[in-house]
């Protein structure tokens, strides 16, 4: 059986350390897919990830650092229709935004030209799908190919958070977005909330916008109960103001009638603030700040240790993968109702608290889980796991995704 060729445009993956959520997608890649990853900005070119057998990488389509090449594509962008639209948006009030837009569009046009050169034979044979992981330069690039070649290719993109919400990226509103939406076949937004946001802002492209959940790997369902010496709580986030981890410490300080061990994975500029708060915890509450923790180590920890509860106190989220991973192990969750969190944290998986929650409320919800009997707690774990299997299983979600984008 011949394989279906898909060209995945990333920012740097598999180079560098970002875009980690592509890894579970590759692990769940269907056998009938011939995947070629095209990093548009691979940096120093040092491969930092191990790829599954058969997955190829093509750096020939990357943006060039050569000054003459950059000048060529800056000039192409300068005379493009998309730049004219950006001029109407930004001139004369924000020349810096206009300059960034020019660079953005130049990179997108270069990526598009490079893709066309590398895959011209596949395009002419009508046997290729171009897929951008972000609704950014890569999506604009493959939108240009779609505009030129029409039904000879399929052109799709994912959209996450920084490439969805105005103000989340350095561009404010992503340049050339309307052009990309006009020409892409579909955009798979990683949350219903994000899909609704784009549909409201770009109503005429509503039919192209669909919710396409990411997924996490199945590392097995933890059978641990609620009867250990300590009630174990885990949080996993950068230690920055937006994550408000210190409020979790304050809530734990209010619980004096149960033995609790809190473990935090993640580091950042707020570490000293959190450490000082930890010093004030009562004797019944112990804490371990693990610092920066590799994804594989987080998964190993969940597999090898009893975790009773996952807590997220963030002020902002897209669709939090850290919560998806927790519920895959059957770990109930308490989280703030921000972004797309309500799509992961439901009555089946845990409890949502208001974005502007009172610390006492968080403490009460933690107490509720501590006080559950064995039957109640086992049921909570089972329901969390079942919800993950139905909605966020990598093997299920990615099989459906690749089947849909390669259907011709």
Q: Which domain holds residue 129?
A: 4-215+394-405
Pair 372, 353 in one domain: yes
Q: Is residue 351 part of a domain?
A: yes
Identify whether residues 85 and 190 lie together within a single domain.
yes
The verdict on 209 and 275 lying in the same domain is no
Instruction: Indicate whether 204 and 249 sit together in one domain.
Output: no
Q: Which residue's entry shows tokens 């190919």?
A: 145
Per-residue pLDDT of the chain (408 residues; tens, 9 = 90+): 689 999 999 999 999 888 888 988 999 999 999 999 999 999 877 787 889 999 999 999 999 999 999 999 999 999 998 888 888 877 777 788 889 999 999 999 999 999 999 999 999 999 999 999 999 999 999 999 999 999 999 999 999 988 999 887 777 788 999 999 999 999 999 999 999 999 999 999 999 999 999 999 998 876 665 567 899 999 999 999 999 999 999 999 999 999 999 999 999 999 999 999 999 999 999 999 999 988 889 999 999 999 999 999 999 888 899 999 999 999 999 999 998 899 999 999 999 999 999 999 999 999 999 999 999 999 999 999 999 999 999 999 999 999 999 987
Residues 142 and 267 occupy one common structural domain? no
Sequence-separated (6 or more) residues with CB below 8 Å from residue 56: 35, 36, 37
Same domain, 303 and 178: no
> Is there a domain that residue 223 lies in?
no
Can you say whether the dihedral through the CA atoms of 221, 225, 226, 231 is positive or negative?
negative
Provide the CATH number for the domain around residue 199. 3.40.50.2000
What gap in Å lies between CA 194 and CA 147, rounded to an integer? 25
CB 63 within 8 A of CB 111: yes
Q: What is the rounded end-to-end Cα distance, in angstroms, of the chain? A: 16
Residues with Cβ within 8 Å of 248's Cβ and at least 6 positions away in sequence, in order, are: 235, 262, 311, 313, 362
- The answer to whether residue 34 sits within a structural domain is yes
- For 337, the token pair is 């109702």
Residue 27 inside a domain? The answer is yes
**Are 286 and 258 spatial neighbours (Cβ–Cβ below 8 Å)?**
no
Do 317 and 198 share a structural domain? no
192 & 312 share domain: no
The domain total for the chain is 2
Residue 202: inside a domain: yes
Do 28 and 85 belong to one domain?
A: yes
Are both 191 and 245 inside the same structural domain? no
Q: Is residue 225 part of a domain?
A: no
What's the pTM? Answer: 0.87
90 and 179 fall within a common domain: yes
Same domain, yes or no, for 27 and 124?
yes
Separate counts of helices (H) and strands (E) for the chain = 15, 13
Is 399 a member of any domain? yes
Distance in angstroms (rounded) separating the CA atoms of residues 130 and 8? 6
| Residue 221, in any domain of the structure | no
């Amino acid at each position: 059986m011949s394989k279906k060729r898909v060209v995945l445009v990333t920012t740097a993956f598999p180079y560098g350390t970002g875009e980690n959520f592509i890894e579970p997608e590759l692990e769940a890649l269907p056998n009938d897919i011939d995947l070629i990853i095209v990093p548009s900005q691979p940096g120093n070119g040092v491969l930092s990830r191990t790829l599954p057998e058969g997955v190829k990488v093509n750096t020939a389509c990357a943006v060039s650092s050569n000054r003459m090449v950059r000048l060529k594509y800056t000039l192409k962008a300068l005379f493009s229709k998309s730049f004219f639209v950006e001029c109407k948006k930004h001139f004369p009030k924000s020349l810096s935004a206009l300059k960034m837009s020019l660079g953005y569009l130049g990179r997108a046009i270069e990526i598009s030209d490079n893709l066309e050169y590398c895959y011209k034979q596949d395009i002419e044979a009508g046997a290729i799908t171009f897929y951008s992981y972000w609704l950014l330069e890569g999506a604009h690039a493959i939108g240009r190919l779609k505009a030129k070649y029409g039904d000879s290719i399929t052109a799709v993109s994912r959209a996450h958070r920084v490439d969805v919400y105005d103000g989340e990226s350095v561009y404010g509103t992503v340049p050339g977005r309307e052009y990309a939406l006009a020409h892409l076949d579909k955009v798979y937004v990683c949350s219903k909330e994000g899909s609704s946001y784009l549909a409201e802002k770009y109503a005429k492209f509503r039919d192209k916008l669909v919710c396409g959940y990411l997924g996490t790997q199945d590392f097995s369902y933890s059978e641990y109960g609620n009867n250990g010496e300590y009630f174990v709580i885990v949080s996993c986030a950068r230690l920055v103001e937006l994550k408000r981890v210190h409020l979790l410490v304050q809530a734990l300080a209010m619980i004096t009638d149960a033995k609790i061990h809190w473990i935090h994975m993640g580091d950042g500029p707020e570490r000293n603030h959190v450490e000082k708060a930890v010093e004030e915890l009562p004797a019944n509450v112990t804490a371990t700040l693990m610092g920066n923790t590799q994804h594989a180590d987080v998964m190993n920890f969940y597999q090898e240790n009893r975790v009773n509860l996952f807590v997220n106190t963030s002020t902002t989220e897209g669709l939090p993968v850290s919560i998806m991973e927790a519920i895959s192990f059957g770990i109930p969750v308490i989280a703030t109702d921000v972004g797309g969190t309500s799509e992961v944290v439901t009555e089946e998986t845990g409890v949502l608290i208001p974005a502007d929650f009172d610390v006492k409320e968080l403490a009460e919800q933690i107490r509720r889980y501590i006080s559950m009997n064995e039957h109640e707690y086992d049921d909570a774990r089972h329901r969390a796991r079942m919800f993950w299997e139905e909605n966020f299983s990598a093997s299920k979600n990615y099989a459906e995704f690749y089947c849909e984008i390669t259907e011709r």
